[in-house]
Amino acid sequence: AVADVTLEDDRLLEIAADGTILWEWLASDHIGEFQFDAEERAGIKSAAGPETPRAYDWMHINSADYLGPNRWYDAGDQRFAPENVIISSRQSSVIAIIARDGSVVWQLGPDFSRTPEQRAIGQIIGQHHAHIIPKGLPGAGNILIFDNGGSSGYGAPSPIALNGQGLYARATSRILEIDPLTLKLVWSYRAANFFSTNISSAQRLANGNTLITEGAPGRVFEVTNAGDIVWEYMNAPSKFGRGSNSVYRAYRIPYTWLPQLSVPQEQAVR
């Protein structure tokens, strides 16, 4: 069992236009596949102790995306079948690929100290928007992740994780681009005062730059491979006060998505 109390579980559904459920997956059915060690399993149980006032969100899967066509599957690696789904569990610091039979066929985390490759990446904490960069874009096939920081993970109780939850903590964010076969950290972005403890995303653009949504403060900006900021937008606060300008996720869309408007004259950013 995951825990001895009521859980908020995570469920993936694929639904046809007529409402028919074509495929579904339940996280708690696969806890034995997620590489949690004994201390992490104990941390999950103790975090959901009898003092918990409501149902406990043990995985908190905040994104789920089809892998889509990719070079790994083209080369014969069945783990990367386009219809498989990549998920991000911010609560457990796990990124995983779920096959159509429900099995976990690829995983990063939860403890990034276990292998040399994961130690080179560094502990991922509270991440969002893990996805494979689509074909046709620079870095295609690599996994792009907004590594939020904040706190996440399970383990033995400690002074900062008295019930075994929130074992890892960091007050900075990172963008990570990872080769899913070698686990090599291909590219990363971090900067002073760059931090969003929740929500947020990153999108690789056709020009090789990356669009970053620093969600909590409502900031969207574009950086080059060298980390230079070439475009930036701050969402204005509304009358509802603090936090009302947060942006969950932003995307750069092509002009062809708005055919009713004339294509504007672009100007180089100096």
The tens digit of pLDDT for each residue in 103-138 reads: 999 999 999 999 999 999 999 999 999 999 999 999
Say what the pLDDT of residue 238 is. 76
Is the predicted pLDDT of residue 51 greater than 70, yes or no?
A: no
- Host H or E run for residue 107: strand 104-108
pLDDT value at residue 11: 96
Given a cut of 80, whether residue 269 has pLDDT beyond it is no
Q: 225 pLDDT exceeds 80?
A: yes
pLDDT digits (tens, 9 = 90+) for 231-243: 999 998 877 766 6
Cα distance between residue 128 and residue 244, in whole Å: 20
Cβ–Cβ < 8 Å for 135, 70: yes
Q: How far apart are CA 150 and CA 173, in angstroms?
A: 8
State the average pLDDT over residues 172-201.
Answer: 98
pLDDT, one tens digit per residue, over 73-107 is 999 999 999 999 999 999 999 999 999 999 999 99
> Could you tell me the pLDDT band of residue 189, with boundaries at 50, 70 and 90?
very high
| Range name among 39-53, 109-123, 147-161, 177-191 with the lowest pLDDT average | 39-53
Query: CB neighbours of 252 closer than 8 A, spacing ≥ 6?
Result: 203, 205, 211, 222
> 241-267: per-residue pLDDT in tens?
666 899 999 999 999 999 999 999 988
* Neighbouring residues of 173: CB distance < 8 A, sequence distance ≥ 6: 146, 147, 148, 149, 190, 194, 195, 196, 200, 214
Sign of dihedral through CA atoms 82, 84, 87, 93? negative
Whether 6 shows a pLDDT value over 90: the answer reads no
Residue 108: name the closest of 125, 99, 100 by CA. 125
pLDDT at 153 over 90: yes
Q: Judge whether 58 and 9 are in contact, CB under 8 Å.
A: yes
Average pLDDT score over residue span 204-214: 97
